[in-house]
Amino acid sequence: MLSLASIVLSVGAALPLATANALSGALHRDVVVIGGGAAGAYAAVRLRDDFNKSIALIEKQDILGGMVDTYVDQKTGATFDFGVQTFLNVSGAKAFFDRFNVSVGSYSSSASLITEYIDFNTGAEVDFEVPSITAQIVAIAQFLTVIEPWESMLQPGYWNFPDPSNIPDDLLIPFGEFLTKYGLEDGAPIIYSTTGLGVGNMSEVATMFALQSFGWDMARALTGQLGLFTPTSGGNQALYNAIATDLGDDVLYSSTVLKSRRTNSGVSLTVRNHKTGQLTPIIARRLLVAIEPTEDNTSPLDLSPSEQNTLAKFTYSNEFAGLVDNAVFNTNYTYFNLPSTAAPNHTLIFQEEPMVASFEYTGLDHLFRVMVIGNTTSTADEAKALAQTNFNTLLKTGHLSSPQDQKLSWAAFSTHGPMHARVSVDEVKSGFYQDLYKLQGARSTWWTGGAFSVNFQTKLWEFNEGLIPKILEGL
Ligand SMILES: Cc1cc2nc3c(=O)[nH]c(=O)nc-3n(C[C@H](O)[C@H](O)[C@H](O)COP(=O)(O)OP(=O)(O)OC[C@H]3O[C@@H](n4cnc5c(N)ncnc54)[C@H](O)[C@@H]3O)c2cc1C
Ligand SMILES: *[C@@H]1O[C@H](CO)[C@@H](O)[C@H](O)[C@H]1NC(C)=O
Ligand SMILES: *[C@@H]1O[C@H](CO)[C@@H](O)[C@H](O)[C@H]1NC(C)=O
Ligand SMILES: *[C@@H]1O[C@H](CO)[C@@H](O)[C@H](O)[C@H]1NC(C)=O
Ligand SMILES: *[C@@H]1O[C@H](CO)[C@@H](O)[C@H](O)[C@H]1NC(C)=O
Ligand SMILES: *[C@@H]1O[C@H](CO)[C@@H](O)[C@H](O)[C@H]1NC(C)=O
Ligand SMILES: *[C@@H]1O[C@H](CO)[C@@H](O)[C@H](O)[C@H]1NC(C)=O
Ligand SMILES: *[C@@H]1O[C@H](CO)[C@@H](O)[C@H](O)[C@H]1NC(C)=O
């Protein structure tokens, strides 16, 4: 087994002279965390402030918060969250806001919007008759009863995911079939339009991945059994700005890992600031990876062939959210994309990704929120181009107040990148999740974030609560 000293030496030897000299100034930390989004920022605070561990947090952007996107209206100071909308009030969530003095209030969505269903590919009006809100909520309550027995298999995290021979069949059938089997079709529109659409054509994905995109706590929230909250001022970014203030110089912004060495006795990373070019060596006893384990993100992480083989099995959606400012949209409207075949009342028919999910009024001037769900290769340019194409179609087919061509005017745009990591049913049946969880703790490395848990901010905090004691063992 390598000692820390020999890791330092070998990294030093592999780096240019200037960097090798800088190694005398290496940061020594108990835990180094990669990614300052929901999962990484929370873990950094807990480890440092509550467990007295020294940390360094490496964040690619110049702010914390990841998928949180708070737009601030320059004229009025009003905020609109066009990325993460709201926080599930699961255990400990409210207390975490309290410790940063970020006051929160109940979340209320813009319920008074008028929804117009249109097939964005053709511009055809879709005469889709959505089930009444009562019928939808009744279905969600039944849905919760059906899925309740499986909660501990998938949340928080896959620690208790059953062995291949014990996986309930229902978790592996397409979600559309699942909803039909249990007579829950009326619940589909609200599952899809809130968070289910992240997986693209929700009817096609294996039920377990649809559950990870909506699931137990969203069902509880929609049926009034669990609160949803947001900060009362400053938008959702208010929390992450408070965390940034707290963590101070322990965050390395605008930085990514250039190369690393991971062993059972510790890790050694070289981190590069892409604005200044500065290289910072970090030597730590543990690594916590809080970014999606994509090929790009993991290429500097010195993966072993078996780590690489496992992580390469994931496929992702690529998601984008933005705000457009075009006066031709009608205020108070949501233009919602559904295939024509959803008419008159087929609740299980959704668009295939890549797709623009909707143009939705924000309540501010002429600003509309745009959500694009891409496939595993979609880029930001493709997402914007698709939104423009769909917009042209809406203009030409008379859905907007002017038929003239015009450019979408982007007031904000955010690339959320790969998320909703999932694998094929065959992989699940071949023990993928057991293999994935063998990575936890191996080579001094722990993994958090959506791929290892679920795509909700406060659920990731809950997942971290289970992970932190494991990270701390022997530290
Ligand atoms: C449009 C949209 C709306 C959503 N709404 C909600 C909601 O209302 N409520 C909710 O609970 N969840 C919501 N989610 C899901 C939630 O945002 C995610 O589940 C959560 O942010 C995932 O947290 P994370 O820490 O794993 O990743 P992220 O929050 O994405 O954080 C990853 C961080 O790592 C950084 N990073 C990425 N790559 C690197 C790298 N190579 N090196 C260094 N740093 C890197 C990123 O800049 C980012 O800060 C929404 C997601 C989207 C896309
Ligand atoms: C925190 O850790 C430091 C360094 O290991 C140690 O000196 C200090 O006593 C610890 N403080 C508490 C309150 O445990
Ligand atoms: C929160 O407010 C309390 C009381 O005013 C103060 O003692 C504490 O330092 C504040 N915490 C933060 C993180 O600002
Ligand atoms: C959140 O839950 C806490 C208890 O954990 C409760 O005190 C608080 O009122 C809840 N808030 C909301 C907005 O649901
Ligand atoms: C939009 O809705 C708000 C609030 O319900 C209302 O005051 C306003 O008149 C509406 N605007 C239009 C153009 O219908
Ligand atoms: C769906 O529409 C068809 C045709 O209008 C009608 O016969 C059927 O009862 C409707 N189904 C539901 C569940 O509303
Ligand atoms: C989405 O999947 C469902 C179920 O497989 C299918 O009926 C539907 O046609 C798909 N949508 C598109 C646009 O292909
Ligand atoms: C993703 O979508 C684009 C545009 O439709 C398509 O060209 C590409 O083949 C798709 N990629 C995958 C992996 O499906």
CA of 371 to the centre of ligand 1 (A): 15
pLDDT higher than threshold 70 for residue 10: no
pLDDT of residue 459: 98
Go through the chain and tell me how many residues it has: 475
**Which pLDDT band, with edges at 50, 70 and 90, does 25 fall under?**
confident
* Residues framing ligand 7 (Cβ under 6 A): 176, 201, 203-204, 339, 349-352
Cα–Cα nearest to 411, from 111, 76, 46, 70: 70
Going along 241-314, which residue ranges are E strands?
Answer: 251-252, 255-263, 266-273, 279-289
404 CB under 6 A from ligand 3?
no
Residue 225 DSSP class: S
Ligand nearest to the CA of 183: 6
How far is residue 101 CA from its own chain's centroid? 25
Q: What is the pLDDT of residues 358-417, one digit of tens each?
A: 999 999 989 999 999 999 999 999 999 999 999 999 999 999 988 787 999 999 999 999
Contacts of 44 (CB under 8 A, 6+ apart): 33, 36, 55, 57, 243, 247, 250, 251
Q: What is the pLDDT of residues 184-205, one digit of tens each?
A: 999 999 999 999 999 999 999 9
Q: What angle do CA 445, 451, 452 make, to 5 degrees?
A: 50
CA of 52 to the centre of ligand 8 (A): 47
Cross-strand partners of 415: 320
> Residue whose CA is closest, atom 50 of ligand 1?
84
Domain residue spans in the chain?
A: 4-66+235-311+426-472
Residues 152-175 have a mean pLDDT of: 97
Percent of the chain at pLDDT above 70?
A: 95
pLDDT higher than threshold 80 for residue 320: yes
Contact 332, 361 (CB under 8 A): yes
Ligand 7 atom closest to 339 (CA): 13
What span, in angstroms and rounded, lies between the C-alpha atoms of 304 and 32?
19
Sign of CA dihedral 274, 275, 278, 284: negative
* Phi and psi angles of residue 331, each rounded to the nearest 5 degrees, phi first: -65, 155
Cα–Cα nearest to 435, from 315, 316, 311: 311
pLDDT of residue 16: 40
54 CB under 6 A from ligand 8?
no
> Residue whose CA is closest, atom 11 of ligand 3?
100
Residue 174 DSSP class: B
354 CB under 6 A from ligand 8?
yes
pTM: 0.95
CA of 354 to the centre of ligand 8 (A): 7
CATH 3.90.78.10 at 4-66+235-311+426-472, yes or no: no
| Edge-to-edge strand list for the sheet holding 87-88 | 87-88, 228-231, 104-106
Buried b (16+ CB within 10 A) or exposed e, 389-402: ebbebbbebebbee
Ligand 4 atom closest to 105 (CA): 13
> Residue whose CA is closest, atom 8 of ligand 8?
377
Would you put residue 192 in left (φ > 0), alpha (ψ -120 to 50) or beta? alpha
**Which pLDDT band, with edges at 50, 70 and 90, does 330 fall under?**
very high
Ligand nearest to the CA of 200: 7
pLDDT higher than threshold 60 for residue 12: no
- The helix (run of H) or strand (run of E) holding residue 141 is helix 133-147
Ligand nearest to the CA of 61: 1
